A = this chain, B = another copy of it.
Amino acid sequence: MFSPEIAPVVNIADLPQYEGQAVTIRGWVYHLRSSGKVRFLVVRDGTGLVQGVLVKGRLPEEDFHQFDRLGQESSLILRGQVRAELRAPGGYEVEVTGLTPLHICQNYPIAHKEHGVGFLLDQRHLWLRAPRQQAILRLRDELARACRDFFYDRGFVLVDTPILTPTACEGTTTLFATDYLDRGKAYLSQSGQLYLEAAAMALGKVYCFGPTFRAEKSKTRRHLMEFWMVEAEAAFYLLEDILQLCEDLVRYLVLRVLERRNRELEMLDRDTTLLSKVSQSFPRLSYTEAVVRLQTEGVAITWGEDFGGDEETRLSQMFDRPVLIHRYPRQIKAFYMEADRDNPELALCVDMLAPEGYGEIIGGSQRVADLDILLARLQEYHLPQEPLEWYLDLRRYGSVPHAGFGLGLERLLAWVCGLKHVREAIPFPRLLDRLYP
């Protein structure tokens, strides 16, 4: 298919290693420009961008004229000499000695100008090629990788929890349902937590990291119908252990991208001094303290009410680091949360809010360990017992205190990248009104 190349085929990102040498680059046209007898051709290959310079007479006449046929996103093979060029982005350029178009196109829909976000989302399969979108995807890759490193290094075992579940645990209104062959309805998982609890009783410390689904009729900048969540669960962990684990994780993740993906953060014009604040310890305050702080700032909230997007935004603007808010009223939290012994109205739970107004990125809690309390909770929350018998078994056979949390990847990434909306934080967003492409 490809003719053998004399010069090695190299990635644009690796060009500095080839200074002064002949190379072959395979990629796509990003930008074209003419100036007298010189043609400039910015090429991308997924690893980076480089400028190729075509000087008439220094490459075959036929190759030189191919330039005129090219349009944005045409694919091609470029041969040339790598040289340092301080004015070029990345510090290197290629003096082109050969150009072979692979597939010429002239009418690429996403031109170098402003487009509306609706149009761009329709073209998501092409929009991914934009350098900004590539940078976001690389940051997403690094964060996901770092999550896995964090847990692997700490002895947490990956336990993939099922997506198809028989139980509509927290009500059916926000669940996607499907027919499970002829065995009734199955529901797409909103969280792997209950299954992780079973696995934690087997393996001690476990985590899962997979897609999660909420058929929520919310059209906000923080909601996706399908998003990725990393969840951890550990036997013998108490709320305090989870507070520490969450803080350690988020610090690790942010420092990791600062260390390894600085180029991408720069491309996004991200102010990294704000991110580097995670080195310091994260403020912790109780729900009750948080309510007082909101009231002091004039927010109309009463003790016992849940925080909405607005309250979260306000709270998350009060600190320059992520903040841990713990011990919410039990009545506004899920059935499985352990009550605080010192005040049974409170749940042993924690939310982490990202700064700069990004709001909740983590939710976690210590889980009810006692069978009778859990049975009473099912009644209190009007949940059916039968489909949860297996979950109750965890309290029948060697129940132990345990705790866990979930971190939303897209919300974390949106904060790390400084995105206005989570829709850019996932390769193919599924929104209230969008299932295509």
B160-A427 in contact (CB<8A):
yes
| Of A247-255, A286-294, A318-326, A390-398, the one with at least 4 CB within 8 A of chain B | A390-398
Report B-chain residues with C-beta under 8 Å of the C-beta of A45.
Answer: 204
Is A164 touching B213 in the complex (CB atoms < 8 A)?
Answer: yes
Among the 9-residue stretches A81-89, A126-134, A299-307, A352-360, the one with 4 or more Cβ atoms under 8 Å from chain B is A126-134
A198 touches which of B125, B211, B236 (Cβ 8 Å) = B125
Residues of B within 8 A of A177 (CB): 178-179
Using a CB-CB cutoff of 8 Å, which residues 49-99 of chain A contact chain B? 73-75
* Contact indicator per residue, chain A 215-234, by CB within 8 Å of chain B (1) or not (0): 10100000001101000000
Whether the pair B128, A157 counts as a contact (CB closer than 8 A) is no
| Distance, CA A290 to CA B300, complexed state (A) | 74
8 A Cβ contacts from A132-186 to B: 133-134, 137-138, 140-141, 144-145, 148, 152, 155, 157-166, 176-181, 183-184, 186
CB contacts (< 8 Å) of A204 on chain B: these are 11, 45-47
Q: Which of B181, B393, B435 contacts A217 (CB 8 A)?
A: B181
Give the oligomeric copy count: 2
A152 to B394 Cα, complex, angstroms: 37
**A195 and B428 form a contact (CB under 8 A):** yes
Which of B46, B126, B145, B394 sits near A235, CB closer than 8 Å?
B46
Q: Decide: A398 near B437, CB < 8 A? Known: A160-B211, A203-B134.
A: no
Q: Do B398 and A436 touch across chains, with their CB atoms under 8 A apart?
A: no
Q: What is the distance, in angstroms, from A106's C-beta to the closest C-beta of chain B?
A: 10
In the complex, chain B residues whose CB is within 8 Å of the CB of A105: 396-398
Residues of B with C-beta under 8 A to A195: 125, 427-428, 437
Query: CB within 8 Å of B: which residues of A?
Result: 1-2, 9, 11, 26, 28-29, 45-47, 73-75, 102-103, 105, 108-109, 123-126, 128-129, 133-134, 137-138, 140-141, 144-145, 148, 152, 155, 157-166, 176-181, 183-184, 186, 188, 195, 198-205, 210-211, 213, 215, 217, 225-226, 228, 235-236, 238, 369, 387, 390-391, 393-394, 396-401, 426-428, 430, 432-433, 435-437
Q: How far is the CA of A28 from the CA of B203 in the complex (A)?
A: 11
Contact B26 A400 (CB under 8 A): yes
Q: Which residue of B lies closest to A370 (CB)?
A: B103
A125 adjacent to B188 (CB under 8 Å): no
Are B399 and A75 interface neighbours, CB within 8 A? yes
> Judging by beta carbons under 8 Å apart, are A199 and B148 in contact?
no
B427 near A159 (CB under 8 angstroms)?
Answer: yes
